[in-house]
Structure 1
Amino acid sequence: MTPPELVDSHCHLDFADFDADLPEILARARAAGVRRMVSICTKPANEPKVRAIAEAHEGVFYAMGLHPMSVGECPPLSVDDLVASARHPKMVGIGETGLDYHYTPDSAEAQKQSLRLHIEAAQGTGLPLIIHARAADADMEAILAEGMARQPYSCVMHCFSSGARLAEAALEMGFYLSMSGIATFPKSGELREIFARAPLSRILVETDSPYLAPVPYRGRRNEPAYTAFTAKTGAQVFGVSEAEFAAATTANFDRLFTKAARAAKAA
């Protein structure tokens, strides 16, 4: 039986965890129904490797940004840098960017400035913003809303595991919530309830691989094929079949990542 088509909307194929067996990883992903994936660049120095992987493999796209946890140690990206990167046909998103006060609270002010620059780049390019948020819900909501008031833009709250208020605010602004392997963990009942209150039309799935492997692979290296396990939990959360959940989240991906959708149709 052919598995339903899925999209891993957020993974890190350039990480050293995948250097030894990337072709096998991509083959397993396709066998599991994961036809497309977005590999996320988290530091400017990594962009050539991320881009090369996307160029070499059908169905692999990439996004460009400066991860909030790296803001304190990397030269800042400018709006012009991000806009220039967006000219590549396989560069389909801005980020990941955001705020992380759990691991890197000391760089909070620099993170806010970086986030605002990424929002401006998303507004200028029309590409979706990819947000990382941890222990910074109030500031995150305020800055996203500030940007939206200035000029509308699209956005996905990647690996969403924040509070209900930030989820509601994101949805009110027209953004998407992305479900990761965290949603499969036994103690994530409150998070599953947050997702269940959201419209299915605003949900994406992802791995964030090599991190956060879903049950039954929790604690191991994650990989794009495991999107299927998170999607299985997602189907249960929304009370639909796995095929319906896969179709809905794939359609949502195409609606948000329009550049990737156009490329897929042209292929």
Structure 2
Amino acid sequence: MAALTTTTASVLYHRGGRVGQALEEMGSGEDLLVKRGEPVPVDFPGPILVCTRNDDLDAVLQSTPQSRWSDLVFFQNGMLEPWFQSKGLGDADQVLAYFAVSKLGEPPVDGITDANPEGLTAAYGKWASVVATRLNAGGLSCKVVLEKEPFQKQMLEKLIWISAFMLVGARHPGATVGDVERDFRFEVISLIGELASAAAAEKGIVFEVGIEERLLAYARAVSHFPTAVKEFKWRNGWFYSLSEKAIAQGKEDPCPLHTKWLKELNIVQ
């Protein structure tokens, strides 16, 4: 893939995974690669692009001088807000990466959908435009979102997508994302509606009209993806925590279908 020489040199914190390697190839060749356990330098200019598993994020902070925490850019899926708040990173830079890298070394495929032909990938924070330039260099779309609330809505939609499609798929062993969209559409639409309602109530937001169709369209764009409930703490676990909180307060479960299916699969007790 052709890299633009204007791409800002960055620190790339990754474990040799598909997304991290793809980001490295989009750069100018002047990036500094940092692996787990290695320290992030204080004086290297540019953003620190973090492409690791969510469970490695504590290690990332331990390797990064606190004076540089504001330069961290997180590419992780899932609900990171509670972790950000616990670490004093309330307004951290984030990227919602709607692109797929099928195999290590292959070029990424943009998650452009028939509902969003302009692309869905979005970046937020002080380094957002730099990240967008890098992704554009790799032939990917990326919009810069300036305000926190619209970015938060998009983050929650992506969280709902991965939580709903992975859970419904797990109920039907061997089902891909495309199978869920095509063969189990009623189930996934029901779950999307439930999770969206719970998220909107918890965060005091209103999603844009058409969330179900936007998420179904993305499923069609990445139909080959396998399904499995992973990184529970960071994905479905956030919605389950809303259920636990409501029940502890003597209220109705805001996500009864979600809770029922988690228990069916023995993911929670």
Q: TM-score, normalised by structure 2?
A: 0.31
- Name the structure where strand makes up a greater proportion of residues: 1
Between 1 and 2, higher relative CO (CA 8 Å, sep ≥ 6) is seen in: 1
Q: TM-score, normalised by structure 1?
A: 0.31
Higher Cα Rg, which structure: 2
